[in-house]
């Protein structure tokens, strides 16, 4: 049993627990990505604060249930490594609790996310009538990008969140900013070229410093550029 001599140890152990769940449980990574996508959708559809609170609370229940499910499975495996009906029941019941929270989250999302006329209005907006503000699109894209990189790093089990890892976060952020500048200064080609050259220098510094391999910085650059181009081309009035 670990003693909490330092009050910060409790926070540290909690982070370790979260990292372990993300690293070992594919469903947890999917649920967390869903949370980020919900936040992005809430920005695009301009949901009210109360609606966002309901969505956050709902998806948090799913994440919590998944973590309890993982903890129960670990305890059962610790007690017995052989088949036992009670062990099976414990795991099945925990998985059933997760299923209930997922169904509940899907139902709430279906009820809260705009439909019918609101969806047609959004489609018209995307078509160029009144697209979402580019600042909202940039923020939503950045949140999605950082979340995907974080999940990728945790799942890869290599390096740290802020240094190293299977994908270069610095390279991704650099190319995200370069793509944003390119769309903001669409008619000024030279500005866009210089922005991408600076992003390349950032990626090169990560390779020369021995922090990332060439493959890892290329993955970060492609991920950021791809997501940004799609987001700005579809939702932003800058294009």
For 117-128, the pLDDT digits (tens) are 444 444 444 444
Question: pTM, whole model, 2 decimals?
Answer: 0.52
Taking Cα atoms as reference points, which of 110, 112, 132, 111 lies closest to residue 121?
132
Contact by Cβ (8 Å): 231, 140? yes
pLDDT of 114 over the 60 cut: no
- Between the alpha carbon of residue 160 and those of residues 41, 55, 144, 148, 211, the distances in Å are 29, 30, 19, 15, 11
pLDDT value for 119: 42
Q: Rounded to an integer, what distance in angstroms lies between the CA atom of residue 182 and that of residue 192?
A: 4
For 171-229, the pLDDT digits (tens) are 888 899 888 888 887 777 787 788 888 888 888 888 877 888 888 889 889 999 998 88
pLDDT of 21 over the 80 cut: no
pLDDT of 77 over the 80 cut: yes
pLDDT value for 68: 87
Q: Rounded to an integer, what distance in angstroms lies between the CA atom of residue 68 and that of residue 60?
A: 12
Question: Of 16, 50, 66, 73, which one is the catalytic site residue?
Answer: 66
pLDDT value for 127: 46
For 132-182, the pLDDT digits (tens) are 567 777 888 888 888 788 777 766 666 555 566 778 888 888 899 888 888
Residues 6 or more apart in contact with residue 58 via CB below 8 angstroms = 104, 105, 108, 109
Backbone angles phi, psi at 128, to 5 degrees: 125, -5
pLDDT of 239 over the 70 cut: no
pLDDT average, residue stretch 40-59: 76
Q: Rounded to an integer, what distance in angstroms lies between the CA atom of residue 226 and that of residue 17?
A: 32
Give the pLDDT band (50/70/90) at residue 116: very low
pLDDT of 4 over the 70 cut: no
CA gyration radius, the chain: 21
Give the pLDDT band (50/70/90) at residue 2: low
pLDDT average, residue stretch 79-92: 84
pLDDT average, residue stretch 104-112: 73
Q: Rounded to an integer, what distance in angstroms lies between the CA atom of residue 93 and that of residue 95?
A: 5
Does the annotation mark 50 as catalytic? no
Contact by Cβ (8 Å): 125, 175? no
């Amino acid at each position: 049993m670990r003693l909490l001599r330092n009050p910060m140890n409790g926070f540290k152990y909690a982070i370790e627990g979260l990292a372990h769940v993300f690293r070992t449980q594919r469903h947890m990574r999917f649920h967390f990505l869903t949370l980020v996508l919900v936040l992005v959708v809430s920005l695009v559809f301009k949901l009210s604060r109360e609606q966002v609170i309901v969505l956050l609370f709902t998806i948090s229940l799913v994440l919590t249930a998944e973590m309890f499910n993982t903890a129960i499975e670990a305890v059962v495996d610790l007690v017995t490594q052989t088949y036992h009906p009670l062990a099976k029941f414990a795991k099945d019941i925990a998985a059933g609790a997760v299923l209930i929270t997922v169904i509940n989250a899907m139902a709430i999302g279906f009820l809260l996310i705009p439909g019918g006329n609101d969806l047609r209005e959004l489609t018209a907006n995307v078509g160029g009538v009144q697209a979402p503000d580019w600042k909202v699109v940039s923020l939503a894209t950045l949140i999605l990008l950082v979340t995907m990189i974080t999940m990728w790093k945790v799942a890869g089990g290599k390096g740290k969140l802020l240094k190293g890892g299977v994908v270069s976060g610095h390279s991704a952020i650099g190319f995200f900013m370069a793509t944003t500048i390119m769309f903001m200064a669409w008619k000024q080609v030279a500005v866009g070229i210089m922005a991408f050259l600076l992003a390349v220098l950032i990626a090169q510094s990560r390779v020369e410093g021995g922090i990332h391999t060439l493959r890892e910085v290329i993955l970060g650059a492609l991920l950021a550029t791809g997501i940004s181009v799609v987001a700005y081309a579809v939702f932003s009035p800058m294009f």
